[in-house]
Amino acid sequence: MSFSEFTEKDYEVIAREYEALRLSAQKRCANEEEMAVVRKAFDFANEAHRNVRRRSGEPYMLHPIAVAQIVVDDIGLGYKSISAALLHDVVEDTDYTVEDIREGFGDKIASLVDGLTKIKNVLDNEQKTRGTDISQQSLQAENFKRILLTLNDDVRVVLIKLADRLHNCRTIEHMPEHKRDKILSETMFIFIPLAHRLGLYGIKSELENIWLHYKEPDAYLDIKERIERSIQEKGEEMARFVVPIEEALHKAGFKFEIKKRVKTPYSVWRKMQQKQVSFEEVYDLYAIRLIFDADQHSGETERDQCYHIFSIITGIYRYMPERLRDWVKHPKSNGYEALHCTLLSPSGVWVEVQIRTRRMDDIAEKGIAAHWIYKRHGYLGEGDYEMDAWLERIKGILVNPDVNALELLDIIHNDLTSTDIYVFTPMGEQRSIQKGATALDFAYLIHTEVGNKAIAAKVNQRLVTLSHVIDTGDKVEIITAEDAKPQHEWLQFLTTRRARAIVMDYFKSERKQTVDFGRSMLEDTLTGLGFDISERNLQRLEVTYGVPSREELYYGVGIGALSMEGIPEALKPNSGKLSWLRKMLRLESKPQEPEKEQGVTVGSTEPGTTHYAIASCCNPIPGDPVIGFKAPDGSVTVHKKTCPVAEGIAATHGDWVVVPKWLEKAEETSFLVRISLRGIDRMGMVNEISSYVSLAMGVNMRGLTLTADKGIFEGYIDLYVASRDVLDKMIKKLSSIEGIEKVTRSDL
């Protein structure tokens, strides 16, 4: 922030933005008295922030106005929340106190402002010095714990904070890069999942797109341009597609509206990454939202009316059965209800159709705020019970005194990002459990003793191990034995919080022995691999595994929760590759203050300079956008900006973030990458691929694995490249070889 006298133009901009807010707020305020409170809050904040400017140079008051606009338009909250949004920075940034707010606006608005002020304080109050001891709790994790605890008090505090985070992300280009990386990682790790779980689809989508724009700018712009071209090409076709549907529904007596939706750049990018598909293979790029007014007097439930519409439109167009999603019968845990089907247009384009009632659409767009409104009026759908159950579960986790901040953050993150599947007991009883759960997770879902005494399982009558991952629709039977007991190795494959907590509690009495065993095991492994058992090496392992203390490191190894396979990579000595990295990377260390930078010697191969390591979890290469983390010993680990491991570290240890820059190509050094291929097999295909890679591009292959079955081949090549440019050229050329249908970069 900075101070300078406002101009007449500044006052005009503030007045114009407030007028837009006033028009929106009038629709949410019940009467003139409520509107008067909003105006009073604006006047109070406007005076408090007079002559204060943001980093961009614009009047600071535009920020609280924008946050209030999001609160009313995107979330649908009322006058108290709008007023709190306008006032949310007053206590932190001016001489006014919470008591001043209470005196002028009452207890509830003061309470909301107080909660928002505390959140701002803990997020801004980063750890100033760490020294060489990283065994203490992550301050950032403690901060997030305090933020989430406001869910126990008033969820509106978190909702307004989400609005605040959205506007800060909208203007994030004015932040220095190290600060951007920290904020965006926090956003992806906790705020985007929170927005999803609270049902705020619009806010979630916009935050995701901003994240991608700065984390992978080239991919974002490419996908955005492709989407825009596709809209231009397919726009008229989509208009023709809905005409028969409209006619049929009007004839059936439904009152409805149809909205067209195109996937966001982030959702397209994520599908391309997860499914390893090209842009052209994203079949659900287009969606039609069919929103209808449920007839409360027809004798049919909302669910029945959704099915009725489904039967009408699938009588017009062919649908894809495997892509039918019934979230009316089984709502998502964030309360989302809809019936999704994918229809084939006359020109052969697959179009997703989302069938929702007006109530379902309100909750899908406004989330928990709409949920409250319908609940207040005595109407609850299936999804509303899911929302209440989730909130109660989160509150139970938050108040557990045995959970430290880092554990809590992992638990909440996993809970926020998990999706549920539906499985059945041998008696046909349906149970929901998070996607990716194993048979043993299911055993603990049934009962603690069933889990503790489990030895195997039957899934759809087939005998499987306890580590078997179950899927939607599976019938699961747990086989037990009286003398069975929990095993340490179970923690390597259990995924649900409840199951892991039960097993860890079981071993708590053995903790000291486990810690001693883990220390011995780790020291033996280090010695066997030729590494010193030094403080520096142990600190680097704590950073690598993201554990809060030395004891947790030993304990994790002792119970088998931490694999030691990554030790050689984490402690790799300064080989030629690392010496080359010192030439390739310029380190811009995070400054203690915006105006100052810590002095760091870079680009030198002299003893005592910064050591670098490439993270094996994502294997970045020159040309990839990267983020670095500086360990207490001064060494820096370099990740891709989109690496999930990096996101977790930056979200919990933002003060470790540094900004490495790729400076130049180094032809004498190369990086190992993998590219996957798929296509139609023909004589000489392998020869042509290997010849091009080795001879035309001069690239060294480490291995080529291709298999063919019924005329289709697929496989991968591991090779060494100097940069992303070289890799992109190779992928483009290989894609042009006759018979090759898909070439993508994939994980090693």
Concerning whether 681 is annotated as a catalytic residue, the answer is: no
- Extract the tokens encoding 46: 């406007």
Specify the amino acid at residue 28: R
User: To which residue do tokens 């304080």 refer?
Assistant: 121
Q: How many CA atoms, within 13 angstroms, populate the side-chain half-sphere of residue 422?
A: 12
- Among 58, 92, 126, 295, the active-site one is 92
Concerning whether 337 is annotated as a catalytic residue, the answer is: no
| DSSP annotation of 19 | H
Strand ranges across the sheet with 740-746: 700-709, 712-721, 671-680, 740-746
Write down the H helix ranges in 71-134.
Answer: 79-87, 90-93, 98-105, 107-124
What 3-state DSSP class applies to 275?
helix
Task: Count CB neighbours of 711 within 10 A.
Answer: 9
User: To which residue do tokens 């019934």 refer?
Assistant: 326
- Extract the tokens encoding 739: 């018979």
- Among 34, 73, 93, 569, the active-site one is 93
CA angle, 673 then 678 then 680, to 5°: 145
Rounded to whole angstroms, what are the CA distances from 153 to 78, 150, 363, 389?
A: 18, 5, 22, 16
CA distance 161 to 390: 20
- Whose CA is closest to 499, among 487, 483, 511, 514? 487
User: To which residue do tokens 């994918």 refer?
Assistant: 342
- Whose CA is closest to 409, among 543, 514, 506, 547? 547
CA distance 41 to 113: 11
Residues 59/14, Cβ–Cβ less than 8 Å: yes
CA distance 563 to 549: 17
- Whose CA is closest to 392, among 141, 119, 147, 151? 151
CA distance 665 to 650: 27
Residues 252/197, Cβ–Cβ less than 8 Å: no
Burial of 441 (0-12, 13-18, 19+ CB in 10 A): buried
Residues 6+ apart with CB under 8 A from 133: 632
User: To which residue do tokens 């899911």 refer?
Assistant: 386
- Extract the tokens encoding 554: 């030993």
Radius of gyration for the alpha carbons in the chain, expressed in angstroms and rounded: 28
- Residues annotated as catalytic are 92-93
